[in-house]
Structure 1
Amino acid sequence: MAAGSLLDRLLEVRQASEALIAPLDAEDLNLQGMADASPPKWHLAHTTWFFETFVLKPHQPDYTPADPRWSYLFNSYYDTVGPRQPRPQRGLLSRPPMADVAAWRQRVTQALETLLVHHADGPWRELVELGLQHEQQHQELLLMDLLDGFSRQPLEPAYRDDWCEQDEDLPDSGPTCADDLHGPWLHCRGGLVEVGHQGDSFHFDNEGPRHRTWLDPFAIADRLVSNGAYRRFIDDGGYRRPDLWMSEGWAECQRRGWQAPRYWRRDRDGEGPWRWEFTLGSRRPLEDHRPVRHLSWFEADAFARWAGARLPNEAEWEFARVQHGENLLQSHGQLWQWTASPYRPYPGFHPAAGAVGEYNGKFMTSQFVLRGSSRLTPPGHARDTYRNFFPPVSRWMAAGLRLAR
């Protein structure tokens, strides 16, 4: 990527993060609804810390770093760098104030701009691109964390009053009855196939190396499972039948009192059917034709078993995109899609040396892979080989499912 193009991307991405907090009040900036979430101010500070720590300190000798104590505040999980504020306590960081964080962001952005303008090439260029992709990840996380935090408030506030979800590219009709839970099947021949990233364009290290794997012939649904189809699962006792669930999932379902997807709502008195959904635009009518979202892997797996199907593994999902392309509807720009694949390294995977090697590799246990992208994924950040990953109990992310057999 040319220096000018990288500079343009730098300014665009950094400004996009700041635009995300424009609708928020000062009281919202430290909102942390649960241990897995982070406050908006922390997201903006952490992405700035990333650039300062991995790009500017090693490669810009004239740069003056921030207060060294801030590294403890805004390090996320890089043990090689040093200790850090416990994740469940990030909401306690009322200081430094947002004004100081904003000034720091501007200073770091200017230093990066200077580096890009005056040095045509260098070992830091790949780190700048990694930092931009990292910041885009946090842009999506910021919105998902806000949705969780606002959903816990009795007033059910909107992130933006003009938040609109009516422009989604949905199929003309979605499957909502028990005999049509998945839409048409797309048949894939299988065989010895290649998956994983190829080429010189950016990719995270966990997307490679490209390798061969065997797939038996399979079929995959052409669209995501809808709210209407999932409602049938609930009405048929889906949350009351342990035979549909993995043992750990059933235990979590009982312990957490799950009865429906994360943001489904009854009427305000808590009675009646599931008629509402909490969104970034506050409470909205639950529409049966839209894809069901905010499910854990355990719920997605239980639904698939109830429907007489299964979740696709990640190689099947990627191969279906190659074989069927645009016929695999809603593969991007709607929801991340749970797969049956545990998050493990590809054959021949080696993490990068040093602290940045902690970015993906050390999480390759006790998690499942999601493929695709969501409506909250920043433009240009999605790829068919992208391997998102979360623990199977998590359901605050923008995650849905499609079926396979």
Structure 2
Amino acid sequence: MILTATLLDFFTETRKHTENICAPLEIEDYVVQPMEDVSPPKWHLGHSTWFFEEFILKKFKKDYKVFDADFSFVFNSYYESVGKRVVRSDRGNLSRPSVDKVYEYRDHVTTAIQNLFTERTDQELDSLLEIGIHHEKQHQELLLTDIKYILGNNPLLPSYGKTLQEQPTENHTQEWIAMAEGIYDIGHHGNEFCYDNELGYHKVFLHAYQISSTLVTNGEYLEFINAGGYEHFEYWHADGWDWVKTQQIKAPLYWHLIDGSWHNYTLAGLQSVLLKAPVTHLSYYEAFAFAQWKGVRLPTEFEWEAAQKLFPWGKRWEWTESAYLPYPNYIKAEGALGEYNGKFMVGQKVLRGGSIATPTKHTRSTYRNFFPPSARWQYFGLRLAK
């Protein structure tokens, strides 16, 4: 557990960073919701604030005055035990409250948290604040990628800014890292922060395998496209093939074929696809199909974790072949916070690592991200195994 004074600094730094992410936006950008999975920036600002108000201030701050009684309905995401909420697909209809009012809400809650932790602290409070900070960091990544989806679906393909190097090149040669058959330790072990889905520290037996030292690049993926990868059903799961045909998928998200050359939309605007950069914005379906075409496979999340010290990671969230399931002896927390991870452990695939959009002090080698197999608006890539 981080010391309270340091934790409060961490909180203040995190709150400021969320607002810095929104700084380049025009006021019109704050409310747009081009698909259900993408939340408007204004909603992220409000929801990450509501979390602190709902789970800390209402419970622990004496005589705390709720900023607006309607905001729990507006900014609750999926916590059934907390009460009613706006349907996810309707978040883009929230022209009110205004952006200015949401920023007032943020200031109100931030100040109240700072005052509370100046007045008193205990282990439960510190633990809740730390969870809230990392919850907001998760939303920082979602906020940035949602902004990209909003702007990337604007017909003008406007630039957000040059805050990220979205096409970092791989500067070393791909090698196959050999891992011996044996028993490996899996899961979080120690006193540092982690989510409950990383717990249940346990051992797994792995057969001998090999894992790539590098991520698959745009150039390698372009070979798959040129070889007709999206036209041959034998590389795809049945669900994946249906998805390709129904959605008319022909390339990664944000790729545009212009005058015979591939370009991709980035937060800095439209750019030529850099062949040596790791491919991104792929669904699990596409990652699986590419591996099938190459005659290899995706690693399991356990294979990834066992080998992670032997290769660089963090440029892309990496799809694995593992379903998102609880570890042995997993215990779901009581109350609303128990809804954070446990209830999503069905129909999802695990991703490991992190991405260029992941904020600092957030990810770790045991972090388990999870998304449905069709998702691809996040910075999703792949590493091969055999």
* 328, 334, 359: which one aligns with 2:311: 328
Letter in 2 for 1:165: Q
C-alpha distance in structure 2 between counterparts of 1:172 and 1:20, whole Å: 29
Residue 261 of structure 1 aligns to a residue whose secondary structure is coil
Q: Percent of aligned positions with the same letter in both sequences?
A: 44
Alignment of 1:112-127 (within 5 A): 112-127=113-128
Residue 124 of structure 2 aligns to a residue whose secondary structure is coil
1:399 paired residue number: 380
Q: CA deviation at 1:164?
A: 4.7
Alpha-carbon displacement from aligned partner over 1:260-310 (angstroms, at most 9, x marks no partner) = 00111111xxx524x201011110110100000000000000000100100
Distance 1:194 1:173, change over 3 A: closer
Q: Does 1:198 align with 2:201?
A: no
Alignment of 1:237-252 (within 5 A): 237-252=228-243
2:150 paired residue number: 149
1:294 paired residue number: 281
Alpha-carbon displacement from aligned partner over 1:339-366 (angstroms, at most 9, x marks no partner) = 0000000011011000010000000000
Q: CA deviation at 1:107?
A: 1.1
Contact 1:3/1:117 (8 A) holds in 2: no
Letter in 1 for 2:127: E
Alignment of 1:202-241 (within 5 A): 202-241=193-232
In the superposition, the TM-score normalised over structure 1's length comes to 0.93
C-alpha distance in structure 1 between counterparts of 2:167 and 2:218, whole Å: 17
Contact 2:167/2:277 (8 A) holds in 1: no
C-alpha distance in structure 2 between counterparts of 1:96 and 1:102, whole Å: 10
C-alpha distance in structure 1 between counterparts of 2:303 and 2:181, whole Å: 8
Q: Does 1:272 align with 2:260?
A: yes
Q: Does 1:48 align with 2:49?
A: yes
Alpha-carbon displacement from aligned partner over 1:8-40 (angstroms, at most 9, x marks no partner) = 001000000011111001000111111111000
C-alpha distance in structure 1 between counterparts of 2:209 and 2:172, whole Å: 24
C-alpha distance in structure 2 between counterparts of 1:164 and 1:141, whole Å: 15
C-alpha distance in structure 2 between counterparts of 1:59 and 1:209, whole Å: 30
Count of residue correspondences: 385
Letter in 2 for 1:317: W
Alpha-carbon displacement from aligned partner over 1:159-213 (angstroms, at most 9, x marks no partner) = 11x3452784x43256xxxxxxxx2100011311110000011000000110111
Letter in 1 for 2:305: E
Letter in 1 for 2:294: A
1:186 paired residue number: 177
2:353 paired residue number: 372
Alignment of 1:376-395 (within 5 A): 376-395=357-376
2:8 paired residue number: 7
Q: CA deviation at 1:66?
A: 2.2
Letter in 2 for 1:128: L
C-alpha distance in structure 1 between counterparts of 2:281 and 2:92, whole Å: 23
Distance 1:394 1:164, change over 3 A: closer
Alpha-carbon displacement from aligned partner over 1:231-260 (angstroms, at most 9, x marks no partner) = 011111100000000000000010000000
Residue 362 of structure 2 aligns to a residue whose secondary structure is coil
C-alpha distance in structure 1 between counterparts of 2:29 and 2:20, whole Å: 14
Alpha-carbon displacement from aligned partner over 1:29-84 (angstroms, at most 9, x marks no partner) = 11111111100010010000000000110111221012221111100000000111
Alpha-carbon displacement from aligned partner over 1:105-156 (angstroms, at most 9, x marks no partner) = 1111111111111214242211110000000000000011111111111110
Letter in 1 for 2:67: A
Q: Does 1:258 align with 2:241?
A: no
Residue 266 of structure 1 aligns to a residue whose secondary structure is strand
1:37 paired residue number: 38
Contact 1:339/1:368 (8 A) holds in 2: yes
Letter in 2 for 1:94: S
Q: CA deviation at 1:2?
A: 1.1
2:165 paired residue number: 165
In the superposition, the TM-score normalised over structure 2's length comes to 0.98
C-alpha distance in structure 2 between counterparts of 1:104 and 1:166, whole Å: 32
C-alpha distance in structure 2 between counterparts of 1:190 and 1:96, whole Å: 57
2:290 paired residue number: 303
1:360 paired residue number: 341
Q: CA deviation at 1:158?
A: 1.0
C-alpha distance in structure 1 between counterparts of 2:112 and 2:118, whole Å: 10
Residue 139 of structure 1 aligns to a residue whose secondary structure is helix
Residue 31 of structure 2 aligns to a residue whose secondary structure is coil
Residue 319 of structure 2 aligns to a residue whose secondary structure is strand
Letter in 1 for 2:367: Y
Contact 2:280/2:381 (8 A) holds in 1: yes
* 320, 324, 331: which one aligns with 1:350: 331
Residue 100 of structure 1 aligns to a residue whose secondary structure is helix
Letter in 2 for 1:392: P
Contact 1:173/1:289 (8 A) holds in 2: no
Residue 29 of structure 1 aligns to a residue whose secondary structure is helix
